[in-house]
Structure 1
Amino acid sequence: MTTLAMLLLASGTAQAMQRPQIPPMSDAEIRADLKDGEEIESRVDGDMNGDGDVDTAWIVRGEDSRSLHVSFAARGEYDLSHDPAGSVELDPFPLGPAEMTVSKGVLVVKDLTGGTTATAITYRYRGEKGKMKLIGLDATLYSRTYAHDGAGMSWNLLTGDVVATKMKLVGHGENANYDKSAVKRFRRPVRTYYMEDTPDIEEALGMAMKGK
């Protein structure tokens, strides 16, 4: 290796080492914007837009409201900060705290809402152009006491592919279960849904069962 190449390599390594890390948002920063009666239900930190910095997603829960928020770590010319990247209202009465993870740059939010008739929902978001983009939406409506039929949907928003499943109740009592063999596959036109544009779950699931 030439002396010039060694100097350039050393310079690049030094610059990488000097790149300051942006710490994740603290709970105190999040709480500073909460209203009376609101609290942090859950949160997760991870790189959600592929820039190597740690971003933060959290759910705020109030007495009759609930919402998901994301902020990206940002590097200004002279400072480090956290910039809002999206938010969306969630069902205000879940059956427990949502589960949030960041896997391979994708924010995955698993939520369970309803009562004896419940809806299990999985949202998948990824950062794009400073905003969170919805790339996947799954939903399953079912009876926790096996009192009626159910329905399921898996929607890949990157390809438009939709899998809709009619869940037929079979058996009784301890032997009750769902037959998920009635599956329909179709494709929706591809369009961009940012976090604020996340479709209503009941409406999306209903349309899926109609093949639309």
Structure 2
Amino acid sequence: MRYLLAFPAAAMLVCSAAAGSASRSVDAEIAAKLKPGEQVEARIDADFNGDGESDAAWIAAGPDRRTVHVHFVLRKGADLRHVPAGSFALPSDRLGPADLSVNKDVLVIKDLTGGTTALAATYRFRGEAAAARMRLIGLDARLYSRTFAHEGARMSWNLLTGDLITARLELTGSGDDAAYREAGTKRVRRPIAVIDMESTPDAEAELAAMLPSTGQFQQVSSAAKRE
């Protein structure tokens, strides 16, 4: 019986040691990639491509730049190696640290940037183990005034289905009762696109491109500049 119990215990020790080694290796990779003046704004370790290994995503933030990095952890026997799976730039004018989370192997990045006029963006990425790439599968953006000084706009784009929703955010109420309500909501279907993380579009520019025909975004942008 002692021998039967020893094997699971030994296996657990090996797995624990391997996990610790992988974590230290990722720490070294991140430290090596940081440029002078940069620090890690946010980090998450999770499986992004469904292979059972714990990958890593982090944001390197400096005085005038912020970059998302993703590395896959590939295992061959007892050997581990790290493969860059994607990176892209976030706006530098952050209003706080970005939030990184994982839902069913999907990496979700929520970011808030700007000033009194703010842009709230949510990016969703899924990893492909065979190609060692992260793909953009969803992008939501919302431009609005934090003091309710002007109207806003929002979009939600599902790249897997091509479904796109856009809307204008109208002001309602005033003072402590000020709020936004959606108006002019439109639903269309865009061609299904495959976009690598490196080609992730700028959220504000994409929002502007989605609302050109009615002039909604131009009106919002003009009001934001006057604020």
Check whether TM > 0.5: yes
Give the fraction of aligned pairs with identical amino acids, expressed as a percent. Answer: 52
Greater CA deviation, 68-77 or 112-121? 68-77
The size of the alignment, in residue pairs, is 197
Instruction: Using the TM superposition, give the Cα deviation of residue 35 of structure 1 relative to its aligned residue in structure 2, in angstroms.
Output: 1.6
**What secondary structure sits across from 2:35 in the alignment?**
coil
Q: Which residue of 1 aligns with 2:199?
A: 197
2:138 maps to 1:136: yes
Among 168, 171, 181, the residue aligned to 1:169: 171
**What secondary structure sits across from 2:44 in the alignment?**
strand
Q: Which residue of 2 aligns with 1:97?
A: 97
1:72-102 CA-partner distances (Å, limit 9, x unpaired): 0112466211110000011112000000001
Q: Which residue of 2 aligns with 1:27?
A: 27
Q: Does the aligned pair in 1 maintain the 2:26–2:56 contact within 8 Å?
A: no
2:69 maps to 1:69: yes
TM score, norm. by length of structure 2: 0.81
Among 149, 154, 157, the residue aligned to 1:155: 157
Instruction: Using the TM superposition, give the Cα deviation of residue 165 of structure 1 relative to its aligned residue in structure 2, in angstroms.
Output: 1.1
**What secondary structure sits across from 1:32 in the alignment?**
helix
Counterparts in 2 of 1:12-91, with a 5 A limit?
21-22=18-19, 23-24=22-23, 25-76=25-76, 79-91=79-91
**CA RMSD, Structure 1 to Structure 2 (Å):** 2.0
Distance 2:213 2:206 in 1: 11
Distance 1:191 1:180 in 2: 27
TM score, norm. by length of structure 1: 0.87
Distance 1:189 1:26 in 2: 37
| Unmatched tracts of structure 2, length 5 or more | 1-7, 215-227
Which amino acid letter does the alignment assign opposite residue 121 of structure 1? A
Instruction: Using the TM superposition, give the Cα deviation of residue 210 of structure 1 relative to its aligned residue in structure 2, in angstroms.
Output: 3.2
**What secondary structure sits across from 1:138 in the alignment?**
strand
Q: Does the aligned pair in 2 maintain the 1:184–1:211 contact within 8 Å?
A: no
**What secondary structure sits across from 1:29 in the alignment?**
helix
Distance 1:97 1:159 in 2: 30
Runs of 4+ deviating beyond 4 Å: 17-22
Q: Does the aligned pair in 1 maintain the 2:96–2:112 contact within 8 Å?
A: yes
